[in-house]
Chain A
Amino acid sequence: MTSNHTSVPSYMQGSTRRVGIMTDVHRRFLQLLMTHGVLEEWDVKRLQKHCYKVHDCNATVEKLEDFINNINSVLESLYIEIKKGVTEDDGRPIYALVNLATTSVSKMASDFAENELDLFRKALELIIDSETGFASSTNILNLVDQLKGKKMRKKEAEQVLQKFVQHKWLVEKEGEFTLHCRAILEMEQYIRETYPDAVKVCNICHSLLIQGQSCETCGIKMHLPCVAKYFQSNSEPRCPHCNDYWPHEIPEVFDPEKEREAGISKSNKKPLRSRQH
């Protein structure tokens, strides 16, 4: 799964930025958000309600956007924030606590060896340079000889790629790899700074684009959920840049209600399986 980043507007009061107050409700929320890594919006809302229930049942549950902005105003000075993104393929809103410092691919560094990290970087480059946002397993494995650190065989590299999938950095679809939505959310800044020329950007939301649709005339790109929103109920979609006819199928806008119903009926059938992101 992949994502783009929509920035949550910051709360401003005149010229001074008001820093929010942390209560146990916010602290528990942060703890649990950190524990889970990345969460979908409906999970986040449930989490918020839970934290209110535990600490302050009488208070009205604040609107999620304000709640998160409040917490982010406190986190700002720590260079971390609760970041909201949208999965690139089906437009689900997701949230994660991310570090804004771009010193390194920090979260990965302690899990992987030098040659493994380099394999990831190579895969990342292929993904960014590709037209579709996917890099084939074959192409990645062919770069195994160029890796820094200990020599890695192709067989080993296959397993390392699976490790990336398990840790939710990459996603595999039919032998091809792209970035997991969590990776895009956490690494967007790092990616934009490291590959400023190769990086693609969505014409609508201006965030990092890995997967999307392009205009065949002028070449601008848009995320699938951005396309869905922009061309919603438009019978003659035209490119916002060159006005040429938009040749691709317009996807549906993500509807959380429909999604939840589908999820509930799925989970009734398979109680032991966890939800796939």
Chain B
Amino acid sequence: MSEQSKNVCDPNFTAEPSNSEVHGNPGVPGGPSPPASQAATLAGPESPPLGPTDASLALPPSQAPSEEGDPKALQQAAEEGRAHQAPSAAQPSPTPPAPAQLVQKAHELMWYVLVKDQKRMIIWFPDMVKDVIGSYKKWCRSILRRTSLILARVFGLHLRLTSLHTMEFSLVKALEPEELDRVALSNRMPMTGLLLMILSLIYVKGRGARESAVWNVLRILGLRPWKKHSTFGDVRKLITEEFVQQNYLKYQRVPHVEPPEYEFFWGSRASREITKMQIMEFLARVFKKDPQAWPSRYREALEEARALREADPTAHCPRSSVSED
């Protein structure tokens, strides 16, 4: 955790609108919290995330149990943040900015988050502070709160802290049902198909896929490592660098092999965003077969789907940035 975030801005809350009078009791519904919160309220610990929002603009938040992240850990961290803030309160504090400025910052942050998500880049809290919040660090909690409120109300997206450890946020869809967007436009985002081709190869093999195997498969799409493609550009760079950077793939040297060879694995982001069932459906679509033509993989996919449902019956499916094409 960076020094600055310890002292002034506490990232360890779920970035959902909350009622500051409720001290972390998940069961109690709160009254409407005034969206026009002025200077930062260094009030009590934030409550766990709230449920989906109302259709109308006047928004009374309703509370639901935490869907992700451990509420206890978040609360602890929030209290920790508060403890750190106590000594600094003794120092002369700078003049709080005008409400309009905080609102403007919230709008900038909203756009920043939307664009990062559109480009499938990681939304990292320290980046948010550096690139957008800047000198308004001290009020970042209220800025974040307002931003999440707007995102929920206008876009139906939850700005969620997905990893307390790495301070990563992500935008999670808050609308049911999830999966249907995939068929919305058959005008596919080409990157998705390419990525899914590779991920499904790895999945079917049940272990890492050698680079040579991957190129054999990509040959079907007319892609070669030395040829520039009209849509994908430099394909090799795309799959060995960009997809790796975005954490969709891992590209590693095969140990003990000379001359050196490399293989691909699923990246952490792929594991988070793409379900095995989606891979099975993709395979079925591409090869025009029933998903049960890969019996052991299909069984795995079913088990994963069941485990996901059991883990969180009320939650929406993990948001997949590849589910809409």
Interface residues of A (CB under 8 A from B): 19, 21-24, 27-28, 30-32, 34-37, 43, 46-47, 50, 54-55, 74-75, 78-80, 97, 99, 101, 103, 106-107, 110-111, 162, 165-166, 272-276
Give the contacting residue for A162; candidates B175, B180, B233; CB below 8 A. B233
Give the contacting residue for A74; candidates B118, B154, B180, B230; CB below 8 A. B154
Q: Is the CB of B175 within 8 A of A24?
A: yes
Q: Is the CB of A34 within 8 A of B181?
A: no
Q: Nearest chain-A residue to B110 (Cβ)?
A: A78
Which of the segments B183-191, B198-206, B271-279 contacts the partner chain? B183-191
Complex: A63 Cα to B154 Cα, angstroms:
20
Q: Which residues of A sit under 8 angstroms from B230, Cβ to Cβ?
A: 276
Closest chain-B Cβ to A20's Cβ sits at a distance in Å of 9
Q: Is the CB of B154 within 8 A of A275?
A: no
Q: Which residues of A sit under 8 angstroms from B305, Cβ to Cβ?
A: none
Interface residues of B (CB under 8 A from A): 55-57, 107-108, 110-111, 114-119, 121, 131, 150, 153-157, 173, 175, 177, 180-181, 183-185, 187-190, 193, 221, 230-231, 233, 321, 324
- 17 A/B residue pairs, CB under 8 Å, sorted by A: A21-B57, A23-B55, A24-B55, A31-B173, A31-B175, A32-B181, A32-B185, A36-B185, A36-B324, A43-B187, A74-B154, A75-B154, A101-B108, A110-B121, A274-B187, A274-B189, A276-B231
Give the contacting residue for B184; candidates A46, A74, A78, A166; CB below 8 A. A46
Complex: A101 Cα to B104 Cα, angstroms:
10
Give the contacting residue for A21; candidates B55, B111, B175, B321; CB below 8 A. B55
Complex: A78 Cα to B56 Cα, angstroms:
17
Q: Is the CB of B154 within 8 A of A22?
A: yes
Complex: A107 Cα to B193 Cα, angstroms:
25
Point out which of A23, A27, A36, A75 has the most chain B C-beta atoms below 10 A from its C-beta.
A27
| Beyond known contacts A30-B156, A43-B187, A272-B221: 7 more, CB 8 A cutoff | A19-B57, A24-B55, A28-B175, A31-B175, A36-B185, A50-B183, A80-B107
Q: Which residues of A sit under 8 angstroms from B181, Cβ to Cβ?
A: 28, 32, 50, 54
Q: Is the CB of A111 within 8 A of B119?
A: yes
Q: Nearest chain-B residue to A55 (Cβ)?
A: B175
Q: Nearest chain-B residue to A30 (Cβ)?
A: B155
Closest chain-B Cβ to A40's Cβ sits at a distance in Å of 9
Q: Which residues of B sit under 8 angstroms from A19, Cβ to Cβ?
A: 57
Closest chain-A Cβ to B67's Cβ sits at a distance in Å of 18
Complex: A50 Cα to B177 Cα, angstroms:
12
Q: Is the CB of A78 within 8 A of B57?
A: no
Q: Is the CB of B153 within 8 A of A99?
A: no
Q: Which residues of B sit under 8 angstroms from A107, Cβ to Cβ?
A: 115
Decide if the interface of chain A is mainly helix, strand, loop or mixed.
helix
Q: Is the CB of B193 within 8 A of A272?
A: yes
Closest chain-A Cβ to B171's Cβ sits at a distance in Å of 9
Complex: A274 Cα to B191 Cα, angstroms:
10
Closest chain-A Cβ to B136's Cβ sits at a distance in Å of 15
Closest chain-B Cβ to A174's Cβ sits at a distance in Å of 15
Complex: A75 Cα to B110 Cα, angstroms:
12
Q: Is the CB of B189 within 8 A of A106?
A: no
Closest chain-B Cβ to A168's Cβ sits at a distance in Å of 11
Closest chain-A Cβ to B9's Cβ sits at a distance in Å of 21
Q: Is the CB of B231 within 8 A of A274?
A: yes
If A78-B150, A110-B131, A272-B193 touch, does A22 touch B55 (CB 8 Å cutoff)?
Answer: yes
Complex: A111 Cα to B155 Cα, angstroms:
24
Complex: A23 Cα to B325 Cα, angstroms:
22
Q: Which residues of B sit under 8 angstroms from A46, Cβ to Cβ?
A: 184-185
Closest chain-B Cβ to A87's Cβ sits at a distance in Å of 16
Q: Is the CB of B118 within 8 A of A34?
A: yes
Closest chain-B Cβ to A111's Cβ sits at a distance in Å of 7
Q: Which residues of A sit under 8 angstroms from B56, Cβ to Cβ?
A: 21
Q: Which residues of B sit under 8 angstroms from A32, Cβ to Cβ?
A: 181, 184-185, 324
Give the contacting residue for A78; candidates B119, B154, B157, B193; CB below 8 A. B154
Complex: A46 Cα to B107 Cα, angstroms:
29
Closest chain-B Cβ to A3's Cβ sits at a distance in Å of 18
Complex: A21 Cα to B56 Cα, angstroms:
6
Q: Is the CB of B185 within 8 A of A43?
A: yes
Closest chain-A Cβ to B222's Cβ sits at a distance in Å of 8
Q: Which residues of B sit under 8 angstroms from A35, Cβ to Cβ?
A: 118, 321, 324
